[in-house]
Amino acid sequence: MEKEVLIFGHKSPDTDTICSSLVREILDKKNGWNCTKAVRLGDVNKETQYILNYLGIEAPGLIEKVEEGQEVILVDHNDFAQSADGIENAKILEVIDHHRIGNFRTAEPLYYTAKPYGCTSTILFEEFKSLGHKIEKKEAILMASSIISDTLLLKSPTTTEYDKKALKELAEIANIDVNTYGLDMLKAGTELDDFSAEELVNLDAKDFEKEGKKFVIAQVNTVYINDVLKRQEDLENVMRNEMNKNGLELMVLAITDILNSNSEIIALGENAEDIIYKAFDKKLENNRAFLEGVVSRKKELVPNIDKSI
């Protein structure tokens, strides 16, 4: 039997991470490569669960870490800090990603597809096209959902013409009305009430490092920022805990209003005030700042914080 190759996205998996892993496995099967298997590194969020339910399919299996020498394909991330435990000693065959290249190195040559698109699935969509494979309804819904999620219905500044074109074509194949389906899907991800503060903070948290300084930017989507802010004290306690446990310089929780495209951030850290002021020209008040028009971690939060830390 051929060795199994694992396909996975980042920790705290989001829709693009899960759906692109599944789509990549489908694409491999179409190419006659049967030994790849989508897996995940954490719980599926409610938005992604909505999509899996819609399709009546199971989430990929959960793995805790990768063994030394395990062959893997990374989607939707490259930074080792966001990848599987043990990734340093795995054999990375390929990366398909739409993020900046951060802490990434390999011992051996590899395939690396990086495009500055709004979504990994848009890259996969183009691979279906260039390989001449027919896109079936299932993968159309998976890829359309990824694009809707990562671009917040094409409203995020990360959105490119390629994403728009892909979503239009995928929606036709999937036979969905993008706005109706998209809002239902995004809203499913904003049902946050039954989450503990700890779950909320870790729902979509990403680790970063700059010159030895570690910082985390977590994000939650909502349709009503104040609902989340009611729990500020609890959220801050969890954030302080995380900071102490992991020796963080800064921890930011972005609460993003997906309907009006704004974010309120809670920022903690010894130099949080200075960093946020430098990054966004905003003064923290009660550890918070309202960032009008800001929705993208990748294009707005990370670059501004990274250069200010």
**Under the rule (CB under 5 A), what is the footprint of Mg ion?**
14, 16-17, 76, 120, 150
CB of 238 to Mg ion, least distance (A): 20
Residue nearest to Mg ion (CB): 16
Residue whose CB is less far from Mg ion, 48 or 120? 120
Tokens for 108?
Answer: 């051996």
Residue whose CB is less far from Mg ion, 17 or 304? 17
CB of 59 to Mg ion, least distance (A): 15
Residue whose CB is less far from Mg ion, 11 or 287? 11
Tokens for 107?
Answer: 């011992």
CB of 127 to Mg ion, least distance (A): 15
Tokens for 152?
Answer: 């917040």
Find out whether 270 and 296 touch, Cβ atoms under 8 Å.
no
75-90 burial, b for 16+ CB within 10 Å, e for fewer?
bbbbbbbbbbeebeeb
Residue whose CB is less far from Mg ion, 99 or 284? 99
Going by DSSP bridges, is the β-strand pair 36-40/61-62 parallel, antiparallel, or unpaired? Answer: parallel
CB of 249 to Mg ion, least distance (A): 22
Residue 80 per-residue DSSP state? G
Residue whose CB is less far from Mg ion, 171 or 220? 220
Which amino acid appears at position 55 of this protein?
A: L
Residue whose CB is less far from Mg ion, 14 or 25? 14
How far apart CA 83 and CA 85 sit, in angstroms, is: 7
CB of 99 to Mg ion, least distance (A): 7
H-only helix segments in 134-220: 137-151, 161-174, 178-188, 197-202
Find out whether 257 and 222 touch, Cβ atoms under 8 Å.
yes
CB of 174 to Mg ion, least distance (A): 19
